[in-house]
Amino acid sequence: METLAFVSSYELTSTVEELDELRNVKDRPILERTAAKLLVIKGQAAAEAVDIETRYRMRRAEGVLDTVESTSETSFSPSVILRISLCCWFCVVRCLCYGVGSAGLAVLFEKLAKENFPVSENPDGTTFSGGQLYKNFAVTYAPAIFVSFLEAMVIYYDLLRTALTVAQIAGLKLWPADPIRTYVSNSIIAEALELGHPTYVRFGVNPLRGSSELILKLCFLLYKARGGLSKFLIKVRTPAPRARLLGRADTRSLLRSSCGAW
Amino acid sequence: MVTRSAVKGVFPLIGIPIVAFWNAMLAYQILKAVRTVALCRCCINGVTDALLGVHQELSRQLEAGVELKKAVALSRIKSFALASRHDSFDPTAMTAEMKTAILRTVAVAVVQSKRFHPNLELLMKHLMFRLHLDPSSIEGLDDETVFLEKCLPSLSRLDSYTVLSFMAFALTLDGELSISQKVRARASSHASTPC
């Protein structure tokens, strides 16, 4: 019974903490906060009185798939795997199409700008005046950047939608939300949006144990450098004196690729 | 002249396939990770219960005087699904060293992957629930040296078999198996008692 009490209390504390973190319950009014906590422990409070194995079977009978005491899935039917694969491949093809559309639009804008707002170069053939540069930027690159942002948003929205579809096909119940389901959906969303995995100490396990500090710092610097490089690629083109740094074609292609890739 | 103008005309279009394939690669990698999380999430509890059930079944057969190799072969013939129906897994029948070793296996897998993958977190939670053991109460849980040099050699043949099964399961849960992970898994296999 001591073990049962320990496990229940640990689980309860863990779930309430998770709820606090995930839903930011602390910022809510006291009544809402209490209600949310009650909702979490509602299902567990009744089960605490009974034997742990009975509780386990009860949860199985309810058909809960994604909680700690879930049913035992050891394999998936080929049709489920096929549906998931098809769903993923369709999404990949859609993302490819978004790329074609976005890059095509960028090229189109550039062509239109060239035809309608021709830029006259200086006699030395290396650069052009600041006013022309800004006009060129506004007409050519601003729509391209806008299209690129739009493309990124559409891609991540599509990935998110596909991720939730995959979860649904796999049989995960994400709604109505409880702390563990919220945890599941959050981890799927984090994967879909490339938010990375936590490296903090949990359950007494430090994922970065034994890692060299030098390598960790280098990784941090590389991560920061990625953002800095994209900023540099955009900034290097805008002020007129810096336009001398790179050739026009080089800068154009770099800017286009930076908008598309980053 | 024709070639030059043709190149000049085609050059702006080069970016289109590059951007498109970049997007496709990005989407493929992300969806692979999503698939790993979604599919493994469903089977973590099932496979864990199956491994624990198989261990319990093997212990019973060993107590009944069946040879380990024969018992292992019998358990392989039985499907995992059958083993996972074994609801009456009794954590008190398992030794404390064995429980600690299983949790250490998962902790070492986390340290090897250098991040807390959500699947490994859920596996840890489920093991905590099934084994009735608090991982944070174990000192040096994530110490690989202790696991390889002290914990694994002290286990019996059957316990080593189960712990290595858990190690294989934990290593594959994040969807990636690096070369260093393979090397370390082999080292664990050598450190354990041969089955």
Mean of per-residue pLDDT scores for chain A: 65
B-facing residues of A in 200-219 (CB < 8 A) are 200, 202-211
DSSP assignment string, B125-180: HHHHHHHT--GGGSTTTT-HHHIIIIITTTS-HHHHHHHHHHHHHHHHTTS---HH
Instruction: Please tell me whether residue A205 adopts helix, strand or coil conformation.
Output: strand
**pLDDT at residue A25 above 50?**
no
**Cα B66 to chain center, whole Å?**
29
Is B108 an 8 Å CB contact of chain A? no
Q: What is the pLDDT of residue A94?
A: 93
- Domain positions in chain A: 2-61, 78-208
Residue B51 and residue B65 in contact, taking contact as beta carbons nearer than 8 Å: no
pLDDT band at A213 (very low <50, low <70, confident <90, very high): confident
The mean per-residue pLDDT over the stretch A15-43 comes to 48
CA distance B162 to chain A (A): 17
In total, chain B counts a number of residues equal to 195
Window 109-168 of B: residues touching A by CB (8 A cutoff) are 110-111, 113-118, 121-122, 124-126, 128-129, 132, 134-138, 141-144
Task: Decide if B146 contacts B140 (C-beta within 8 A).
Answer: yes
Share of chain B above pLDDT 90, in %: 4
pTM of the shown model: 0.67
Helix (H) / strand (E) containing B193: none
> What's the token pair of residue A19?
């709820």
Cβ within 8 Å, pair A96-B31: no
- Before B153, cis peptide (omega within 30)? no
Residue-level pLDDT at A134: 67
A17 has pLDDT over 70: no
pLDDT tens for residues B65-100? Answer: 777 666 666 665 554 545 555 456 777 778 888 888
**A255 in Cβ contact with A237 (< 8 Å):** yes
What's the domain count of chain B? 1
- CA nearest A173: which of A76, A85, A62, A14? A62
Would you say the C-alpha torsion A179, A181, A187, A192 has a positive or negative sign?
negative
Q: Is residue B146 in a domain?
A: yes
Q: Which residue of B has its CA nearest to A85?
A: B35
List pLDDT tens digits, range B128-180: 888 888 777 788 888 888 888 888 888 888 888 888 888 888 888 887 777 77
**What gap in Å lies between CA A151 and CA A143, rounded to an integer?**
12
Q: Report the 10 Å Cβ neighbour count for A51.
A: 11
Which residues form the domain of B88?
43-191
Residue B187 lies in a domain: yes
Conformation bin of residue A175: beta by default, left when phi > 0, alpha when psi is -120 to 50: beta
Report pLDDT for A254. 47
More confident residue, B183 or B153: B153
Q: What are the φ and ψ backbone dihedral angles of A205, each rounded to 5 degrees?
A: -110, 125
Measure the CA–CA gap between B41 and A16, rounded to whole angstroms. 21
Whether the CB of B10 is below 8 Å from some CB of chain A: the reply is no
CA gap B31, A155 in Å, rounded: 12
- Assigned domain for B36 exists: no
Min Cα–Cα distance to chain A from B57, Å:
17
Predicted confidence (pLDDT) at residue A257 exceeds the cutoff of 60: no
| For residue A92, pLDDT beyond 90 | yes
pLDDT in tens, A69-85: 344 455 677 888 889 99
Among the listed residues A227, A226, A232, A239, the one whose alpha carbon sits nearest the alpha carbon of residue A254: A232
Look at residue A9 in the predicted model and tell me its pLDDT: 41
Q: Is the pLDDT of residue A154 over 70?
A: yes
Backbone angles phi, psi at A202, to 5 degrees: -140, 140
